[in-house]
A and B are shown apart, each in its own frame.
Chain A
Amino acid sequence: MIELRGVSKVYRVGPVKVTALADVSFAVEKGEFTVLAGPSGSGKTTLLRLLYRDEVPTEGEIRVAGFDVTGLRRSRIPQLRRAVGVVFQDAKLLPGRSVYDNIAFVLRVLGTPRRDITPRVMQTLKAVGLSARAQALPAQLSQGEQQRAALARALVKEPALLLADEPTGNLDEAMAEEILYLLSEIWSRGTTILLATHRATLADQLKRRTLVLDGGRLLKDEE
Chain B
Amino acid sequence: MLAFLIGEAFRNLRRGGRVAASAVLLITLSLAALGAFWVLSLNIGSAVEQWRDRLRVVVYLREEPPAGEVEGLLKKIEGVGGIQRLRYVSKAEALQTLRRQLGGKVSEVEQLPTNPLPPSVEVTPAPEASTPEGTRALIQRLSALAEVEEVQGGTAWVEWLAQLQGLLQLIGLALGGVLALAAILTATTATTLVLHARREEMEIMRLVGASEMVIRLPLFLQGLAQGLVGAGLAVGALYGAYRLALPTLEPLLSFTLGLSRAAFFSPIEVALLLGGGGLLGALGGLAAKGERPA
On A, residues with C-beta under 8 Å from B are 52-54, 74-75, 77-83, 86, 92, 94-95, 105-106, 108-111, 153-154, 157
Contact = CB atoms under 8 A, between A and B. Distances in A.
A118 to B, nearest CB: 14
A222 B193 CA distance: 49
Contacts of B205: 109
Contacts of B103: none
Contact of B294 (A54, A110, A157): A54
B49 interface: no
Contact of B210 (A53, A74, A109, A153): A109
Taking each of A75, A78, A86, A110, which has the highest tally of chain B beta carbons within 10 Å of its own beta carbon? A78
A106 B203 CA distance: 12
A86 to B, nearest CB: 6
Chain A residues touching B, majority SS: helix
Interface of B: 1, 4, 200-201, 203-212, 214-215, 293-294
12 contacts: A54-B294, A74-B293, A77-B293, A81-B208, A92-B200, A92-B204, A105-B204, A106-B204, A108-B1, A108-B4, A109-B210, A110-B210
A80 B209 contact: yes
Nearest to A53: B294
Contacts, number: 53
A153 B200 CA distance: 14
Which 10 residue pairs across A and B have the least CB separation, nearest first?
A: A81-B209, A82-B209, A109-B210, A78-B209, A108-B4, A106-B208, A111-B1, A78-B211, A109-B205, A77-B294
Contact of A78 (B4, B201, B203, B210): B210
Most A C-beta atoms less than 10 A away, residue of B214, B215, B293: B214
Contacts of A153: 204, 208
Contacts of B201: 94, 105
A183 B205 CA distance: 23
A89 to B, nearest CB: 14
A153 B204 CA distance: 10
Contacts of A82: 208-209
Nearest to B1: A111
Contacts of A157: 208-209
A211 B211 CA distance: 33
B209 A86 contact: no
A83 B200 CA distance: 21
Contacts of B215: 109
B209 to A, nearest CB: 3
